[in-house]
Amino acid sequence: MSLWRIFIAVIFFVSTSLAALAAEQTATLKVGGMTCASCAYQAQKALISVDGVRKAEVSKQDNQAVVTFDDEKSNVAALAQALVNVGYTAELIEPEQPATTEQ
């Protein structure tokens, strides 16, 4: 019983302290101007090189980039600028609104 309580306490502590350390955010950007697979690679390289970016996935097929970053080090404007710097266009895709419940 008590071990279970300690386990819960540890999980709670770890999750709250991680949240305090970094506010991780994921943004989806619409990327324009990519014409081939190597464009997607270039765009991804540009995004990864932005300070604070943890992960960037660029899809040529969907013309979009999904970027995970630390919002204390970076922001969407910096991500878009990085794409513009290497010759693409970028605009933020607003997060989808929660689906309305069907009546």
* Residues within the interface to Cu ion (CB under 5 A): 35-36, 38-39
Pairing outcome for strands 64-70 and 24-32: antiparallel
Min CB(72)–Cu ion separation in Å: 33
Minimum distance of Cu ion from residue 41's CB (angstroms): 8
| Closer CB to Cu ion, 69 or 88, in the complex | 88
- Phi and psi at residue 92, to the nearest 5°: -75, 135
Q: In the bound complex, what is the minimum distance in angstroms from residue 73's beta carbon to Cu ion?
A: 29
Closest C-alpha to 59, from 95, 82, 86, 28: 28
- Residue whose CB is less far from Cu ion, 39 or 66: 39
Using CA atoms, how far apart are residues 22 and 39, in angstroms rounded to an integer?
30
